[in-house]
Amino acid sequence: MSRTPRILVADSDRALLEMLQIRLDLAGYETLLARTGPVALDLMKVARPSVLISEIQLPELDGFGLLEELRLSHDLDCCQVMMMARRLAPDDVRRAAVLGVKTCVAKPFSGTDMLDRVAKLTHRNAPAHPKAVVWV
Q: pLDDT tens for residues 106-132?
A: 999 999 999 999 999 998 755 444 444
pLDDT of residue 93: 94
pTM of the model: 0.87
Across the beta sheet with 6-10, what order do the strands follow? 30-34, 6-10, 51-55, 80-85, 103-106
Give the integer Cα–Cα distance in Å for 99 and 23. 27
Counting beta carbons within 10 angstroms of the beta carbon of residue 30, is it exposed (0 to 12), middle (13 to 18) or buried (19 or more)? middle
Domain segments of the chain as ranges = 6-121
CATH C-level class of 6-121: alpha beta
Q: pLDDT tens for residues 50-96?
A: 999 999 999 999 999 999 999 998 878 889 999 999 998 999 999 99
